[in-house]
Structure 1
Amino acid sequence: MDFTNPLVYGVPCFLGLILLELSYSKHRKEERSQKLYNWKDLGASLTMGIGSAVLAPLTKTIAAIVLFNYVYEIFNPLVDGVRTNIMGYESFGYAWYIWIICQLLDDFSYYWFHRQNHNVRFLWAAHIVHHSSDNFNLGTAVRNGWFTILYKPFFYMWIVAIGFPPEMLVVCLGIEALWQFQLHSVYIPKLGFIEKFMNTHTMHQVHHAQNFEYMDKNHGGFLNVFDKMFGTWKELDENIEIKYGVTHAPNSYNPLVILTHEYKDIWNDMKKSSNWYHKFMYAFAAPGWSHDGSSLTIKQQRKLLQTQSAKS
């Protein structure tokens, strides 16, 4: 059964909504709205987005046709004309409740994919592109790293391995991306009851903040339940002024600098020690790790703060 990826229709909508938010912000008088968009920053974000749009069809074709289908065929062979999982049950069809389950599993995978993008520095080097703007708007939503799409499918292939059709997973990935796009707006307030289980705009503002108390929080896709289950959920405190962006920003609007600056920083850090374990950790430990304690990860900083608070 063939399905169309929802992003085919989403991309022109993205551009229209960015234009709408941009126009709306420029017609509002408050300072926050006037500063919501920076033209050079928007240009860099759109360049990142166009690059992703050009590369995505190729990589997603490889992921969907080659990787997902290969894994699906290996783990769900035809037995007497019936697609059967190697565990012995019939592979899943297209019933409505199967779609819901697939979307939930997609969201679970997205949570861990997203969380590891923040916890493994080599992955963070690709993902930092999305966080590198100090503006939070719909333009930032399309500011995607070009290298992330090379490894993202590996976080999802287990879903087709257990029997969900590859084309179903691709559609669910598209739906996830649509929800993620619209989260990048400061104009949507807290949504009451929906906040109990959905990942909302204010929660995603927390995720994009570089405020110490907000860092490495709210990794969820369209649900926040996995953040709550695994200890990474944080509600927006409206009394705290948010500072968006990253602590080690590229300080450039050049797309090539934005794409590669963290890889360069990793290389420079690896040269600080001749110990191969240290070199490995600079690449694959959490951002901020250092062999001499000259810099700390967020987890180490929080632990140190707790220790100091307990002593005082």
Structure 2
Amino acid sequence: MASTQLELLGENIDSVFFVFAAAIFLIEVIELGFKGNFSRAKVTEMLASASTQVPYRLIEAFLMTGLYRLFHVLAYSSIPWMMDISWTTALLAIVAADFAYYWEHRIAHRVRILWTQHAVHHSSRDYNIITAIRFGPLESVWSLLAHMPLLLIGFPPELIFFGIIVVLAYQTWLHTELVGKLGRLEWVLNTPSHHRVHHGCDQKYLDKNYAGILIIWDRMFGSFQEEEETPTYGLTTNFNSKNPIKVWFSEFPELWRNLKSSKTIAEIFGYLFKPPGWKAK
């Protein structure tokens, strides 16, 4: 398989999930209208979620472009055991990228400096398809670093980026309440039901179901939780702002206050790298 074929395949897969997600979004809007729940607050929340694409895309254009090129240079100058691009290695790359995503995602929930970015995705009290594109500005930087082990294994950058695209594209349709449980598929795949749990701020749902495509990683590593009742969505802290700037940087004011109050290097380290909610004694 040529690199251009791989890029085309990635674009086609992305387009399929985009169309599927767009159809779900249209149904969501129609349902809100019929139920009389299509309020100004719902619209502003959707706009706030969509606005996160502005800083995210700017970072992608100006910072991540350079980092992607560095990734390529490192791959082809320092790693002689690079795999060939084929249908087999493309499938392996998706599985490997999905496994890497599980740990990328899990660590982002447990390291506060990374949580400042990922919390943006979780800060909405609504749960709909637009929530799927609610990203922190620098989330892609951590994603690239988390997938670097795949490069060292021997996956070419083209395959790694292909895997990342497929894993992220798959997750778009998960952000909906329209789809119930999917029977036996629930044992293997990440589904809307599993992902609703992940967005819940109820105590039993916190830090569960990190999966991208395959829920088997959560089952294997002890982070699985079945959906038992409709979750309460959002953060454990009370965040309801629709202001785009506050949404983009919601976690930074409190982190800055914590760092200013720190008395030792150990406390600074704790506030940056220990789990969200950690406090100095």
Determine if the TM-score, normalized by the shorter chain, exceeds 0.5.
Answer: yes
What is residue 74 of structure 2 aligned with on the other side?
71
Larger radius of gyration: 1
CA distance in 1, matches of 2:70, 2:167: 21
Distance, in Å, in 1 between the alignment partners of 2:169 and 2:63 is 18
Q: CA deviation at 1:266?
A: 1.0
Does the Cα contact within 8 Å between 1:64 and 1:167 map onto a contact in 2?
A: no
CA RMSD of aligned residues (A): 2.4
Name the counterpart of 1:44: 48
Distance apart, 1:59 and its partner CA: 4.3
Q: In structure 1, which of residues 218, 242, 248 is the aligned counterpart of residue 231 of structure 2?
A: 242
Corresponding residue for residue 276 of structure 2: 287
Measured in 1, the distance between the counterparts of 2:198 and 2:271 equals 23
Deviation at 1:258, TM superposition (A): 1.4
Q: Distance in 1 between matches of 2:68 and 2:147?
A: 11
Q: What is the alpha-carbon distance in structure 1 between the residues aligned to residue 239 and residue 223 of structure 2?
A: 26
- Report percent identity of matched pairs: 29
Q: 1:11 to 1:57 in 2, by over 3 A?
A: farther
Q: Which amino acid aligns with 1:156?
A: H
Matched, 1:181 2:162: no
Equivalent residue runs for 1:247-286 within 5 Å: 247-286=236-275
Deviations 1:54-112 (A, max 9, x none): 44344443343222x123124433xxxxxxx2xxxxx3222322122111110111001
Cα separation, partners in 2 of 1:15 and 1:193, compared to 1, 3 Å? closer
Query: Displaced runs of 4+ in structure 1, greater than 3 A?
Result: 7-19, 33-37, 57-60
Establish whether residue 98 from structure 1 lines up as the match of residue 89 from structure 2: yes
| Cα distance change on mapping 1:35 and 1:120 into 2, 3 Å | farther
CA distance in 2, matches of 1:36, 1:177: 29
CA deviation after TM superposition for structure 1 residue 234, in Å: 0.5
> Match of 2:79, as an amino acid?
N
Superposed counterparts of 1:62-141, under 5 Å: 62-67=66-71, 69-77=72-80, 85=81, 91-141=82-132
Measured in 1, the distance between the counterparts of 2:155 and 2:165 equals 16
Aligned residue-pair number = 275
Please point out which of 25, 28, 44 is paired with 2:31: 25
Is 1:146 matched up with 2:146?
no
Q: Counterpart amino acid of 1:122?
A: I
Q: Deviations over 1:222-245 (max 9, x none)?
A: 0011111111110100xx342100
**Any conservation in 1 of the 2:14–2:169 contact (CA below 8 Å)?**
no
Q: Indicate if the aligned counterparts of 2:32 and 2:38 stay in contact, CA closer than 8 A.
A: yes
Partner of 2:201: 210
User: 1:24 deviation in Å?
Assistant: 2.4
Deviation string 1:147-182 (CA, Å, 9 cap, x unpaired) is 111222011122122221211111111111111111
Larger CA deviation: 53-62 vs 263-272: 53-62
Cα displacement (A) at 1:210: 0.4
Is the contact made by 1:207 and 1:214 (CA closer than 8 Å) also made in structure 2? yes
Q: CA contact under 8 A between 1:130 and 1:143: conserved in structure 2?
A: yes
